[in-house]
Structure 1
């Protein structure tokens, strides 16, 4: 490891690229004896796999699971959390559970039938990875009587039938439980009747609206299992999470007293290093795979306007949009909250501008890969977008072709959109060492067991400390030494973080925040639950219905929407409905289908892309890169994009789009002096209107072509405020600073809303503009990031006085001078956190707060229940 650290120090000394190097010292392992109830053959299998003794946290957690207690395990990446589940579960299955009586009254062996277990993963890749590891353990233990199956949307019907009839352990995902298991509960009755343990892996991934959906799916699962006579324990596994017991209790629908928390990591750790890195100056090294052209030529995505400036000389102001987390799906079965959806492409498009112009993070990471691979370092490079993963791998291979041609084929990309068999093959090649470096999206962040990695590169800030440590933890697993490098992207937020190590290293990881009682999320799950089993008064507490508001929601489903029927014994799904109850909602927030990418010469399906991203990725004339193959999109009709070989093309393409936000209704308005607060339905419209051709590798633009594609609209609920001329004059913000002041105030408002509405920052988006075409005034909008709304923006309107006061206090008391991530910078800004004016934001927020103080009598507002 010293050689890799020395390599980074030597390379980083050039142009002061290595800003900070943090040493995380090694720690020894703490072990314990195997539990007396553990199956001897299973213990022998673990020993054959090299586990002489378990670590103490594994035994503590396994004991809690064995006793049938809900458990939250929050220890580091590679700390063997899965053993805490499989040791008690497989021991109970081995015993048959028919006549076995454990030494504890609450043992999972108490069941009068053969126990089963459901393992829920956030991605298909992780479920398949766990299945592979579990089958290896069973083989080492010579346990042929334990049957394991993986079920997801790709599983053929015959394999699903086998799982229903025979499997002891079913590895799947919450989507499959929602759409397939619970609606067909009678077909899954054998599994559900014996259910002893439900495993929720990578629980920290379930935050915001997604977390609320998954919590309600788990609660519905528990309800059906209990109805059939089972009483499963829920085990939440998380590598990086604050307050894991609170999050687990919220998923399960119980009190924190009922959850055993195991967070004392006893696994060994080698010496680890975290390097904070800035790219080399562009004038010395060239742009690499990123253009250093003007911002005005940058692309933008739906909901993200170009960061050209807040004002356009000679034209109307350009709105600055911060997109909500509804973008590229980097793995199945759903898109995890994107780290910076609106800014995914920016790392391909511009160099950082501080005191010098710097090349892109992608170009820097590509060269670092080319430095690390010849040194024998097995490396992962995490990138924000699918396109970025392909570009980084391609550039790294070009570098290696010049210095180590034999290593060119050891660098690959890994991302969503590949066919399942292609992903499995790549994972196997990475484990075997045939692939030494892989450029990947967050598809490989969540739990894929790849041991022996030496280095991890983070190409830009991943959006949260939890994600950073999760990704960095891939280096040096199982007690080995490791190096992680955070490479700053063009975003000023990244620059701030690498130059302020205390903001990265001195702060705890974020808590997992979600609200299962949110009526916009809860209502369709109540319908689904009623379709599975009639809802009774005793069920309501499980779903958090304990007050008049919850009862009003049920009445709304019965009286207004006609989805449920009220009977003396409870609430029933109205079978006259033409849709399935489970189809009223999507856990992903989107029901768009996949666009298949088909090779015209052979008819071979090469991969897929989400329909929502197809316009920017596979529009006619687009160059599409798939594992280094360059393809040209000929046509796209409906859900099929036809491609042909494009290896001869000397260019790549980049889509450009425009976007706008339109106010559809004002459901409530409050006037406070010169400030007008409104809430209602908004429509976000984006359209890909052209694409740029640029040469490789110098990135010089060689042409622009117009496109005639349909606009895409996204309706949700927003809250917005405007300032009249008197209020603007009172703020004293010069016209040249107004765009940055509004933008900074918008960021700060988005950051503070989760304090008032139980949501995650990634659940909301916003816009700021000096003169919106409908209001004619300086306007800031904050909106929900989900179709139809999720109640967050409305809650902001209802608590607007408290909201603006808290926002002003946070910005005003932050010790930074020009703005930082604690106040006005955003990790998901679609404009690269530019322009931002902290002082101007304080002036505007002061006017808003002052207006609220002068007009405290502003009318109260109760958010309506709304339609599904």
Structure 2
């Protein structure tokens, strides 16, 4: 919640000077060429403030002034006016621009004016909701009564919150599992619900976003059921017109005439925010994108770790060609902390965050005993009390450095950070800028460094800065019509109250009617003249995040102590028998994984090796949705069945990456019906391009790996959201084929985006492989850490020839234009 009074810089370290020192050699424990491939300087920007809207109560103005907020920024006031007029609005401005004030102004003003009104706040993470609770409670406003209602809320407090809290902060998971199924107990709150705040709404993408879209529709359904056609108590009708003269009552009616709460959404800068917010809520949404907040200057560097002397990257054991991005990040974090620069290091995985924090602590303690205590790891899976303690320590300055997963990417107020290290491209430009924006939030000079992993996409980006700095942020991808989302969500809605014909339109129209017929045929719903009824005694068990069941608890066998949790979808990879599991710098080895009862038993051990699971996959085509016939080349998108199984794991020496051995695993196979994009090329065309038939498998395999790595360039996905398969002759296509599929049941919209922008996607893939300086393939171009075949066979040069054949024949579409990258 920034304001003109909170951005005056005070004495601080010089982050840009730290980068200059690193480039000159500094104190980093290595020598070699400059690792920086590009430096982008983002200039400081002045803010534009405006007077308070006249409807803001004096009590609220005084409370904000006491916290240094003397006047709102222009975008804050404009968005607040829209919401006050009953217009659904999304504020899509930069990190640190004070989006929270844009939604707090109308929400808190209404709570102060109408003692019966209520407000619901939704955040994607518990940490963000807890942070917002501190903000609202800290204002000390009489009668607002804010409270968090999530999985960490004691049972003894929940009844009081349901009956008395007026500003409830929660997350979509609790709304789905704890509030809507028990809506009778929330009837008073729902009847008086005035605003629904959806924070960090750009994070609701893919399958998770599609589920949340239906949870919000279920919420709208219940607020209508409890029948409060809301008006703003105590505000004369003549003053409810807002910025365009619409009345409050009219503005609060949805496009279908249903009355309900006003939705105010906050998003990182993203493409087409009004479209994404409209998909999420099912309502017409106005976007506010002009950022009126000031911004300190940012130095943004792209950093490629150096090649390892004498390392070979063209072997089956995936020996790294470059210094590990984790080790590079740990060294930079340690050096920044030793210089007094408050730094956050974002790391892609839980284990990676632990490795970076542990390595940095060791380096600092060797230099100055005890200094390592000022660095910690932060990630999902920690217990609630651990997370809160770490947040407090970082905010107070007790911790100078922290290695975190994206759990701290969203919204938590971290004013005072000087630098951000981003260990590996986070998958989307939206996340990249969100993470980079965590530094300099007090208006100070800031440093952001993207440290490339030995990975095709990272390698491409650090050598193509225009793909980072010269393109707009992607649009959020979600698909509420996904049958694996729509069917279960309709069951949830029916369990909360019989579905009616009016609900068919609310949840999506014709596709909903068809899905309801299928649910009736399957015996899940019963059709009666008054609607569709849930048939079972219990509630539907639906996981919003697509993780397939309860979290797997990680338990220390000797003591019975719960260390943390792992989502079930990752358990086969992270806590299989023999896996190394890290928790707050302490290393454990997994003794047993019980999938039925969802627990893993571990013992403390400090091995000198890490573990890497290996997976095998088969795929069959179910149906083709669309295709392009391009002579010897075909491009398709459709439904596929994927069978995958973790069959073994490698133990690799820490530091060198040397493979010690491969050990078998006996884990169950997993089935997935999803959406894929695939291309075929005729054997004759490949032969004409100079590819020997015996080399086709390696050529396709290499092209597949690189294509998976580059897909996040055109779709809002992560390479771990997608999978692939290639074959010299697939049974269903009868041709050499490369498949890339969404790793979520029913698909998440990524394959469709790849199909639309195929030339952009495959062209970048071809250019990356051709430009890589290795001889036969390396992790920077065609090797993959996920490969179940040990990266064998791979044909780097032939992969370029395959892609040349595809690109020569495949016509360009409008989605391939540079103006539409996301």
So what's the TM-score if we normalise by structure 2? 0.82
Alpha-carbon deviations, 1:801-830, whole Å to 9, x = none? xx9796358756999585699xx9899984
SS in 2 for 1:152: coil
RMSD: 3.7
Aligned equivalent of 1:9, options 8, 20, 42: 20
Measure, in 2, the Cα distance between the counterparts of 1:430 and 1:748: 39
Measure, in 2, the Cα distance between the counterparts of 1:296 and 1:400: 35
Measure, in 1, the Cα distance between the counterparts of 2:425 and 2:136: 33
Residue 31 (structure 1) aligned with residue 49 (structure 2)? yes
SS in 1 for 2:667: coil
Note closer, same or farther for the CA distance 1:218–1:631 as it changes in structure 2 (3 Å cut). same
Alpha-carbon deviations, 1:749-772, whole Å to 9, x = none? 9989999x9999986532223356
Correspondences of 1:532-571 after superposition (within 5 Å): 532-545=496-509, 547=510, 549-558=511-520, 560-569=521-530, 571=531
Aligned equivalent of 2:802, options 835, 840, 856: 840
**Does the 8 A contact of 1:209 with 1:763 survive in 2?**
no
Higher alpha-carbon deviation: 599-608 or 403-412? 599-608
**Does the 8 A contact of 2:683 with 2:736 survive in 1?**
no
Correspondences of 1:328-367 after superposition (within 5 Å): 351=320, 353=321, 358-367=322-331
Residue 174 (structure 1) aligned with residue 172 (structure 2)? yes
Unaligned runs of 5+ in 2: 1-11, 26-32, 229-259, 773-779, 813-822
Instruction: Compute the displacement of 1:667 (Å).
Output: 8.8
Measure, in 1, the Cα distance between the counterparts of 2:100 and 2:574: 37
Aligned equivalent of 1:689, options 648, 651, 662: 648
SS in 2 for 1:45: helix
Instruction: Compute the displacement of 1:292 (Å).
Output: 7.4
Higher alpha-carbon deviation: 202-211 or 767-776? 767-776
**Does the 8 A contact of 2:477 with 2:749 survive in 1?**
no
Measure, in 2, the Cα distance between the counterparts of 1:844 and 1:738: 16
Aligned equivalent of 1:44, options 48, 55, 62: 62
Note closer, same or farther for the CA distance 1:477–1:679 as it changes in structure 2 (3 Å cut). closer
**Does the 8 A contact of 2:274 with 2:287 survive in 1?**
yes
Aligned equivalent of 1:711, options 648, 668, 674: 668
Note closer, same or farther for the CA distance 1:565–1:820 as it changes in structure 2 (3 Å cut). farther
Measure, in 2, the Cα distance between the counterparts of 1:828 and 1:130: 40
Note closer, same or farther for the CA distance 1:161–1:294 as it changes in structure 2 (3 Å cut). farther
SS in 2 for 1:364: helix
Alpha-carbon deviations, 1:29-82, whole Å to 9, x = none? 221222222222222111111112221221222222222221111111111111
**Does the 8 A contact of 1:30 with 1:266 survive in 2?**
yes
Note closer, same or farther for the CA distance 1:153–1:808 as it changes in structure 2 (3 Å cut). same
Residue 739 (structure 1) aligned with residue 698 (structure 2)? yes
**Does the 8 A contact of 2:480 with 2:486 survive in 1?**
yes
Measure, in 1, the Cα distance between the counterparts of 2:457 and 2:195: 42
**Does the 8 A contact of 1:733 with 1:843 survive in 2?**
no
Measure, in 1, the Cα distance between the counterparts of 2:632 and 2:295: 59
**Does the 8 A contact of 1:31 with 1:53 survive in 2?**
yes
Instruction: Report the counterpart of residue 758 of structure 2 in structure 1.
Output: 807
Measure, in 1, the Cα distance between the counterparts of 2:637 and 2:282: 35
Aligned equivalent of 2:309, options 264, 270, 283: 283
Residue 69 (structure 1) aligned with residue 87 (structure 2)? yes
**Does the 8 A contact of 2:460 with 2:768 survive in 1?**
no
Instruction: Report the counterpart of residue 611 of structure 2 in structure 1.
Output: 654
Note closer, same or farther for the CA distance 1:578–1:681 as it changes in structure 2 (3 Å cut). farther
Residue 146 (structure 1) aligned with residue 175 (structure 2)? no
Alpha-carbon deviations, 1:349-406, whole Å to 9, x = none? x53x4xxxx3111111111112111111110111111111111111111221222223
Residue 595 (structure 1) aligned with residue 624 (structure 2)? no
Instruction: Report the counterpart of residue 626 of structure 1 in structure 2.
Output: 583
Residue 611 (structure 1) aligned with residue 568 (structure 2)? yes
Instruction: Compute the displacement of 1:532 (Å).
Output: 2.6
Instruction: Compute the displacement of 1:444 (Å).
Output: 0.7
**Does the 8 A contact of 1:741 with 1:838 survive in 2?**
no
Note closer, same or farther for the CA distance 1:482–1:469 as it changes in structure 2 (3 Å cut). same
Instruction: Report the counterpart of residue 252 of structure 1 in structure 2.
Output: 281
Correspondences of 1:265-344 after superposition (within 5 Å): 265-283=291-309, 296-298=316-318
Measure, in 2, the Cα distance between the counterparts of 1:150 and 1:826: 47
Higher alpha-carbon deviation: 617-626 or 218-227? 617-626
**Does the 8 A contact of 1:92 with 1:115 survive in 2?**
yes
Instruction: Report the counterpart of residue 302 of structure 1 in structure 2.
Output: none
Measure, in 1, the Cα distance between the counterparts of 2:182 and 2:88: 26
**Does the 8 A contact of 2:317 with 2:658 survive in 1?**
no
Note closer, same or farther for the CA distance 1:539–1:669 as it changes in structure 2 (3 Å cut). closer
SS in 2 for 1:187: helix
Residue 60 (structure 1) aligned with residue 78 (structure 2)? yes
**Does the 8 A contact of 2:556 with 2:562 survive in 1?**
yes
Instruction: Compute the displacement of 1:428 (Å).
Output: 0.8
SS in 2 for 1:52: coil
Note closer, same or farther for the CA distance 1:737–1:805 as it changes in structure 2 (3 Å cut). farther
Instruction: Report the counterpart of residue 434 of structure 1 in structure 2.
Output: 398
Measure, in 2, the Cα distance between the counterparts of 1:674 and 1:238: 44
Instruction: Report the counterpart of residue 443 of structure 2 in structure 1.
Output: 479
**Does the 8 A contact of 2:348 with 2:406 survive in 1?**
yes
Instruction: Report the counterpart of residue 128 of structure 2 in structure 1.
Output: 126
SS in 2 for 1:282: coil
Note closer, same or farther for the CA distance 1:119–1:690 as it changes in structure 2 (3 Å cut). same
**Does the 8 A contact of 1:750 with 1:766 survive in 2?**
no
**Does the 8 A contact of 1:164 with 1:188 survive in 2?**
yes
SS in 2 for 1:283: coil
Instruction: Compute the displacement of 1:711 (Å).
Output: 3.2
Measure, in 2, the Cα distance between the counterparts of 1:436 and 1:780: 47
Note closer, same or farther for the CA distance 1:293–1:601 as it changes in structure 2 (3 Å cut). farther
Aligned equivalent of 1:573, options 509, 533, 549: 533
Measure, in 2, the Cα distance between the counterparts of 1:628 and 1:22: 34
Measure, in 1, the Cα distance between the counterparts of 2:52 and 2:294: 18
Note closer, same or farther for the CA distance 1:462–1:826 as it changes in structure 2 (3 Å cut). farther
Measure, in 1, the Cα distance between the counterparts of 2:708 and 2:372: 47
Measure, in 1, the Cα distance between the counterparts of 2:657 and 2:494: 59
Instruction: Compute the displacement of 1:237 (Å).
Output: 0.2
Alpha-carbon deviations, 1:140-183, whole Å to 9, x = none? xxx34221121123333322211111110111111111222111
Measure, in 2, the Cα distance between the counterparts of 1:615 and 1:815: 33
Residue 219 (structure 1) aligned with residue 183 (structure 2)? no
SS in 2 for 1:197: strand
Measure, in 2, the Cα distance between the counterparts of 1:20 and 1:671: 38
Measure, in 1, the Cα distance between the counterparts of 2:225 and 2:784: 43
Higher alpha-carbon deviation: 8-17 or 78-87? 8-17
Instruction: Report the counterpart of residue 102 of structure 1 in structure 2.
Output: none
**Does the 8 A contact of 2:704 with 2:740 survive in 1?**
no
Aligned equivalent of 2:227, options 223, 226, 229: 229
Instruction: Report the counterpart of residue 114 of structure 2 in structure 1.
Output: 96
